[in-house]
């Protein structure tokens, strides 16, 4: 059992780091490219027309 856990742990740790890195990359990408801004711009004309 110990050998099995020792063999599986690095895989789970690697998967966790990869997932955390992916999420961090998405957050940084949104902040750098302002992906949230177009959402606000799309809603603005509707409020103006209303």
State whether residue 2 is helix, strand or coil: helix
Residue 42: what pLDDT? Answer: 56
Cα R_g (the chain), whole angstroms? 21
Position 29 in a domain: yes
47, part of any domain = yes
In a domain, 14, yes or no: no
Q: How many domains does the chain have?
A: 1
CB atoms within 10 A of CB 5: 9
Q: Is residue 4 part of a domain?
A: no
Q: Is 30 helix (H, G, I), strand (E, B) or coil?
A: helix
pLDDT at 50: 52
Whether 46 maps to a domain, the answer reads yes
Residue 28 maps to a domain: yes
Task: Print pLDDT tens along the chain (50 aa).
Answer: 556 656 667 788 888 899 999 999 988 888 887 755 555 555 555 555 55
Domain that holds residue 41: 19-50
Q: Is residue 7 part of a domain?
A: no
Residue 39 lies in a domain: yes
């Amino acid at each position: 059992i110990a050998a099995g856990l020792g063999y599986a742990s690095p895989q789970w740790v690697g998967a966790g780091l990869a997932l955390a890195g992916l999420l961090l990359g998405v957050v940084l990408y949104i902040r750098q490219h302002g992906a949230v801004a177009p959402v606000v711009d799309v809603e603005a004309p509707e409020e103006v027309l209303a």
